[in-house]
Structures are given as structure tokens and as C-alpha cells.
Structure 1
Amino acid sequence: MSKKLYRSNQNYMLAGVLGGIAEYFRLDPTIVRLVYAVFWIFTAGIAPTAIYIAAAMIIPKSDVYNR
């Protein structure tokens, strides 16, 4: 069975992209969000914002509530 990346239904703040990445790699969502925040600060926010918006439009929303 293959793993698939979904936006999270449980670990979300905006669209669930970072929560979904954390669930996919079995990481703490807070760590993923902190890494994203540091990346956002050091790149002036343009690229990470564009990547997040694109990911929110491309990655499907999970229909499973308890993984």
C-alpha cells in the first residue's frame, strides 16, 4: 500500500498543508511549522507563500478524520 500526501483535517491552521506534511513524514506539526516560519523569514516570505498557496490548491484534502 502506498502512502499519499493529503492536507490534514486535524492538524491545520490555514489549509492543512503543513499538518499534512507532518502526518506524511510522521513528525510533530509544530516542528514543521517552525521550519516553515524560519524559511519564510530568511526568504522574505515571497517563495514560501507562493509554495504554500500552490500546495493548498494541488494537494487534496483528506477525507479521513482519524489516521
Structure 2
Amino acid sequence: MQNKLRKSSTDKVLYGICGGIAEFFGISPFVVRLIFFFTASVSIWVYIILVWALDDKPSL
């Protein structure tokens, strides 16, 4: 099965972007959120683009 980058439906704080990235790479969402926090000047723009670009994860 092909793993596709999508917004998380279960691990959401705002839109599920960090949770989706963490699920895709198999790492902790906390680590992804720390990376986004420490690179805030760039990651804010990346986050906004991903909110529009990523599909929602289908509900089971």
C-alpha cells in the first residue's frame, strides 16, 4: 500500500499538518511541531501552503 502525505484526522492541533507529516515519516508529532517552532520564519509559509495543498485523511 502506498503511503500518501495527508492531513491527520486524529492528531490535530490546528489543521492536522504536523500530525500528518509525523504519520507519513513514522515519527512523533511532538518532534515535527518542535521543528516547525524553531524554524517559524519559514515554516509558517510552508504550513499555510500545506493547509491548502494536502488532502484530508479519509475517515474510517
**TM-score clears 0.5:** yes
Q: How does 1:18-57 map to 2 (within 5 A)?
A: 18-40=18-40, 45=41, 47-57=42-52
| Percent of residue pairs identical | 30
TM-score if structure 1 supplies the norm length? 0.81
Structure 2: where are the runs of 5+ without partners? none
**Structure 1 CA distance for aligned equivalents of residues 45 and 16 of structure 2:** 15
Match of residue 60 from structure 1: 55
TM-score if structure 2 supplies the norm length? 0.89
SS of the residue aligned with 2:39?
Answer: helix
Structure whose CA Rg is larger: 1
> Deviation at 1:64?
3.2
Q: Number of aligned pairs?
A: 60
RMSD across aligned positions (CA)? 1.1
**Structure 1 CA distance for aligned equivalents of residues 46 and 32 of structure 2:** 15
